[in-house]
Structure 1
Amino acid sequence: MAGQFEVTTEIDRPVEEVFAFLADGRNDPDFSPRVEEMAKVTDGPTGVGTVYRSTVKDAGVRTRREFRITEFEPPTRIRWTEISENLVTAEEGGYDLEAAGEGRTRVRLFNSLTGHGVGKMIAGVALNAARKDAEDFGRRIKQAVESARNRS
């Protein structure tokens, strides 16, 4: 196992609004530049069992990834696990949300990365890159959620 990275950020939007944005995985390309495409595979509203499929580009290499929602507790908790087979996978990831004052939300994002096969040799590099980008990732989430409201 490579390990975990995480980031906490505060967003100037109510917790229900932030949860709704993050619960729709199709918004991931708005804050994650490595995600080129994201599609919801299962029908119905997002909840436990929902699967999202993405195309991501890491270090110049494109991979297909599938994630299943494993916990879904509006408006405070989302968990997922990667169900695709890649050299490095997110064994568990999630968002924890809490109200942080009037109209503000504190969001904690984490991902636990694991290498498989020869991926064990590069999992540490992937984890270090994710940790290095964590604060910027948090800022991108904040910016995406805060600007999404203005699109309506």
Structure 2
Amino acid sequence: MSTQFEATVIIDRPIEAVFTYLADGRNDPDFSPRVLKIDKSPDGVTKLGTVFHSTVKDAGMKSERDFAITELTTPTRIRWREDSQNSITVREGGYDLAPTPEGGTRVRLFNVLDGHGIGKLLLPLAGGAARKDAPDFGERIKAAAERAA
């Protein structure tokens, strides 16, 4: 059982700058208030196999989450999967980037959520909340990426 949410925004920054910003998952706390802490392994430039280890707070509960980069096509595509054992995980997530004629970047974000154990019962609620927040989440990404310039 899975559910998906997505958002699309136009960021007023060149595609290369947006890609570099989004590929470094350590920037996630800039636009995702649920991320309390995040580290990267190994250090250095994000590449295929890089893992971001995070502590997040969802519905008042803290959990540890590991996201592995599964695809990186500079400057247009980033994909990840969650390698954690939580009740709701991200089977696949990603960013699709495209330049705009005005010199900005169109970014589509998506996550496919899976429920495990009790998470199968919670998935419709979590998915609904994620879909409801998706437009605002996209706007937070836009604001953070534009501030990072």
Residue 105 of structure 1 aligns with which residue?
105
Please give the secondary structure, in 2, of the residue aligned with 1:71: strand
Residues of 2 paired with 1:15 and 1:86: CA distance?
Answer: 33
Please give the secondary structure, in 1, of the residue aligned with 2:75: coil
Structure 1's consecutive aligned runs of 4 or more residues displaced over 4 angstroms after TM superposition are none
Residue 63, structure 1, aligned to residue 66, structure 2: no
Residue 2 of structure 1 aligns with which residue?
2
Tell me how large the CA RMSD over aligned residues is: 0.7
Matched to 1:18, the amino acid is: V
Residues of 2 paired with 1:105 and 1:115: CA distance?
Answer: 32
Residues of 2 paired with 1:41 and 1:84: CA distance?
Answer: 15
- Aligned residues: percent identity? 62
**Do 1:14 and 1:102's aligned partners in 2 also have CA atoms closer than 8 Å?**
no
Residue 136 of structure 1 aligns with which residue?
136
Please give the secondary structure, in 2, of the residue aligned with 1:65: strand
Residues of 2 paired with 1:31 and 1:118: CA distance?
Answer: 28
Matched to 1:7, the amino acid is: A
Residues of 1 paired with 2:91 and 2:15: CA distance?
Answer: 26
- Deviation of residue 128 (structure 1)? 0.5
Please give the secondary structure, in 1, of the residue aligned with 2:39: strand
TM-score, with length taken from structure 1: 0.96
Residue 36 of structure 2 aligns with which residue?
36
TM-score, with length taken from structure 2: 0.98
Residues of 2 paired with 1:36 and 1:43: CA distance?
Answer: 19
Higher mean displacement: 36-45 or 2-11: 36-45
**Do 1:71 and 1:77's aligned partners in 2 also have CA atoms closer than 8 Å?**
yes
Matched to 1:96, the amino acid is: D
Residue 83 of structure 2 aligns with which residue?
83
- Deviation of residue 36 (structure 1)? 0.7
Please give the secondary structure, in 2, of the residue aligned with 1:143: helix
Higher mean displacement: 118-127 or 75-84: 118-127
Residues of 2 paired with 1:41 and 1:115: CA distance?
Answer: 26
- Deviation of residue 124 (structure 1)? 1.1
Residues of 2 paired with 1:50 and 1:36: CA distance?
Answer: 19
